Amino acid sequence: MAREFTSVGVVGLGTMGAGIVEVFARNGIDVVAVEISEAALERGRTTLTGSTDRAVAKGKLAEADRDALLSRVHFQVGLDALHSVDLVIEAVPEHLDLKQRIFAELDRVCKPEAILATNTSSLSVTEISVATTRPNQVIGIHFFNPAPVMKLVEVVRTVVTSADVVADVEALCERLGKVDVTISDRAGFIANALLFGYLNHAVSMFESRYATREDIDAAMKLGCGLPMGPLALMDLIGLDTAYEILDTMYRRGGRDRRHAPVPLIKQMVTAGLLGRKSGRGFYTYERPGSPVVVPDEQTPVASESALADGARGIAKVGVVGSGTMATGIIEVFAKAGYEVVSVTRGAEKSAKVFESVKTSLNKGVVRGKLSEADRDAALGRINWSATLEHLADVDLVVEAVVEELSVKKALFASLDEICKPGVVLATTTSSLPVIDVAMATQRPADVVGLHFFNPAPIMPLIEVVQTIRTSAETTTTAKAVCATLGKTGVVCGDRSGFIVNALLFPYLNDAVKMLEASYSTADDIDYAMKLGCGYPMGPFELLDVVGLDVSLAIQRELYLELREPGFAPAPLLEHLVTAGYLGRKSGRGFRDHTRR
């Protein structure tokens, strides 16, 4: 039988501590809420009442329940007030010496059987536990912010944590309505170990001026379905907190360069640009603590006239290819009012593409997203061809053929001879260097990457990839076309992975390495990222959907170009691909899909 927790103590009433207090009090448990001074105590009380009042206003909490909740909380100054509680959770700033001092004092104050827990997100629970005479009763209970909302709790056991203590805390998490994942004491645990490498990489991308803050954030939200872009998330977490977590992970996690804080982070912290809490970080906010972003000197001008200024007129578009991506792109342009010339390798392939486009448009009619007249008009704008010569008078060509450089280069050399001067030549490659394709022509200034995401009619993002030879006019034209299609175009340089894949696949690779090291299970890692970070899919779910072979190929390209040791493909990923376990398409990847 798990022990009954009738009263708990919470030390530190900042945003996280006050949230943890609310979680326990909501679930009928008496809480002793402790701070260092009356002023700090009052701030904590204000945070708690503000949160519960908002819940009442939104209809998520009855007034009577709020009043009962608040009556269970006893605010006190000083650790001596915790002498009779069954469990204490510490939620003070991430400084090891501070936490060790608090735990030494808790060891003196608390009754012998009390469990002592830390909410640390990055520090060693083991190092904290040795400040006490009861390290077997010390455990990590890592809540996620905001604690009343986020479902995940990471339960962190050390090598000496008692099995009974782990079981009691797991049962408590279930009572609180949380999903717990139990893990060993390792830098970053699950969620932060995967999240902060990705965040650090995004800051590096911004620091090098590879892409704007807006484009990096839009790319990850729209391309991956994430709830926030990485730079906006850094502002929410706080750059000082992010720096401490990264620095700790770097020192504790084998000094992986991917966790070495990007210099810009330390510079911003030193300058007081801490994110939302200071009113300015990567973005500027209405006031300190506000989530409302206001324009600043880096905010781009987004007016339609500014977008169209300097862009070439595009009325007729050629699409080369007959696969899924080509079919989707044809539909996107035709629905947006462009005249389209579809070029495939023969009448049979053209007939298949026509049927695919027609079927997709009919689905739009059935779902009420498209009228029959609009469907017929879109189909009427498409001309079907099996010869490249029919592209002689188009204004834009979009290539969507197989991902082989030799094939694309040969195609672009032919387009160079056939197409009129001034036409924009675009490749949809997701992994090959655009400059290699561009230099197959005599007009590299007119060549750009337009990386659509699959399925093209649904996904709202296009990566506009400019090479060192792409003209400003070509880039402006490409962005204007994206806007006309109703898509968000994000501009980036011609580098392996562009924005989305360069940030996404190292994170997926890190998850495989975590599984490979037997640190956690695929299920728990997926739970951690979905419930702790709000991701729509866990990394292993996503890998099985994308295809392990595709993922391995992209990771190899990233590693070959950047030569970053942390980007080397995980051996487990290579072994699964060699074994033919490619994900859903083969019936088995990280999970067996034949039984579902």
- Which residues, listed in sequence order, are joined to residue 451 by a DSSP beta bridge? 463
Considering only CA atoms, which of 396, 392, 381, 516 is closest in space to residue 446?
A: 396
C-alpha 411/C-alpha 277 separation (Å) is: 53
β-strands 461-466, 447-452: how paired?
antiparallel
Please list, in sequence order, all residues whose beta carbon lies within 8 angstroms of the beta carbon of residue 345, skipping any fewer than 6 positions away. Answer: 322, 386
The answer to whether the CB of 341 falls within 8 A of the CB of 317 is yes
Strands (E), 283-415: 284-285, 293-294, 316-320, 339-343, 382-385, 396-399
- Which residues, listed in sequence order, are joined to residue 452 by a DSSP beta bridge? 462
Strands of the sheet with 424-427, listed across from one edge? 382-385, 339-343, 316-320, 396-399, 424-427, 447-452, 461-466, 488-493
Neighbours of 424 (CB within 10 A): 27
**DSSP secondary structure of 382-405:** EEEES-GGGGTT-SEEEE---S-H
Active site residue 154: yes
* Amino acid making up residue 15: T
Q: Which of 35, 154, 463, 557 is catalytic?
A: 154
Active site residue 303: no
Active site residue 142: yes
Active site residue 201: no
Please list, in sequence order, all residues whose beta carbon lies within 8 angstroms of the beta carbon of residue 528, skipping any fewer than 6 positions away. Answer: 152, 154, 181, 189, 190, 191, 194, 520, 538
Neighbours of 64 (CB within 10 A): 9
> Is the torsion defined by CA of 153, 528, 202, 453 positive or negative?
negative
Element housing 308 (H / E): helix 304-308
Is the peptide bond between 263 and the residue preceding it cis, with omega within 30 degrees of 0? Answer: no
Q: Which of 22, 35, 51, 121 is catalytic?
A: 121
CA distances from 445 to 473, 491, 595 (A): 9, 16, 52
The answer to whether the CB of 585 falls within 8 A of the CB of 547 is yes
β-strands 7-11, 30-35: how paired?
parallel
Question: Which are the catalytic amino acids?
Answer: 121, 142, 154, 192
